[in-house]
């Protein structure tokens, strides 16, 4: 990454319904060329739910979790339960250097960012040196190379999707036992990017066109059984 000052957006979001959370992330990816800057979004959940990867089969997911609703993500990866986890997304336009990195490199970079933020808060973690799969389809029942581990247990994973419009990374962090709050972690994420990469953060007020697109995606995709059960 360049050491020059880089303007990035930060989008603070209130807890949202599962379909809305997925729809807004996709809308941000679609709008990446218009926004013209990377956008970091933190968000929570108004009710327990589970998301699963774009290419997974719904029948397999239904067998391995009692959680409902089940929402198909716009990104890949496995099953992720959502309730008390700290969830985020990162969208990057095609003009960003990050957009052109290989998937493994962008995945590693995202988790190094989280690792650095946690280190600022006194939490030691490590990147998984290799894959260790345990249960099919479950993101936190094993780990992929470059997942974030604490004491040998996975605490952060992510999935991504790259289109002509932009790169979307969606990730989840399990809260640490050190008494840290979500706000502590979010502030450390912003500080790490500013200090290490020269990022100048600017709050993003959700534009009306982007909110409209997200609502359309809720109605047409993420709140529809026909979409979530398409495979």
Catalytic sites, residue numbers: 139
Beta bridge partners of 89: 41, 170
| Token pair in block for residue 91 | 């969208």
| Token pair in block for residue 150 | 């604490």
Cα–Cα distance for residue pair 170/157, rounded to 1 Å? 9
Kind of pairing between the strands at 86-92 and 126-127: unpaired
Q: Where are the alpha helices (H) located in 65-181, listed in sequence order?
A: 103-120
Q: How many residues does the chain have?
A: 231
Cα–Cα distance for residue pair 118/123, rounded to 1 Å? 5
Contact assessment for residue 38 and residue 101, using Cβ atoms and an 8 Å cutoff: no
Cα–Cα distance for residue pair 108/98, rounded to 1 Å? 11
* Rounded alpha-carbon distances, angstroms, from residue 6 to 32, 40, 120, 171, 201: 16, 13, 21, 23, 8
- Who's near 183: CB < 8 A, 6+ residues apart? none
């Amino acid at each position: 990454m360049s050491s020059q000052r880089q303007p990035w957006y930060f989008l603070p979001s209130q807890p949202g319904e599962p379909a809305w959370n997925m729809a807004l992330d996709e809308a941000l990816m679609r709008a990446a060329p218009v926004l013209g800057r990377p956008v970091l979004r933190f968000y929570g959940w108004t009710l327990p739910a589970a998301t699963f990867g774009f290419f997974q089969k719904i029948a397999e997911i239904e067998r391995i979790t009692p959680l409902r609703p089940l929402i198909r993500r716009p990104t890949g990866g496995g099953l992720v339960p959502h309730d008390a986890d700290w969830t985020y997304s990162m969208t990057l336009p095609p003009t960003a250097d990050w957009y052109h990195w290989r998937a493994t490199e962008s995945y590693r970079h995202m988790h190094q960012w989280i690792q650095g933020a946690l280190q600022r808060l006194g939490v030691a973690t490590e990147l998984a040196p290799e894959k260790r799969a345990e249960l099919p389809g479950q993101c936190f029942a094993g780990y992929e190379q470059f997942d974030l581990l604490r004491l040998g247990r996975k605490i952060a994973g992510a999935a991504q999707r790259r289109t002509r419009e932009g790169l979307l990374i969606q990730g989840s962090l399990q809260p640490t036992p050190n008494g840290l709050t979500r706000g502590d972690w979010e502030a450390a994420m912003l500080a790490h990017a500013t200090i290490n990469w020269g990022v100048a953060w600017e709050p993003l007020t959700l534009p009306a066109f982007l909110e409209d697109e997200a609502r359309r995606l809720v109605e047409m995709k993420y709140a529809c059984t026909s979409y979530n059960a398409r495979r």
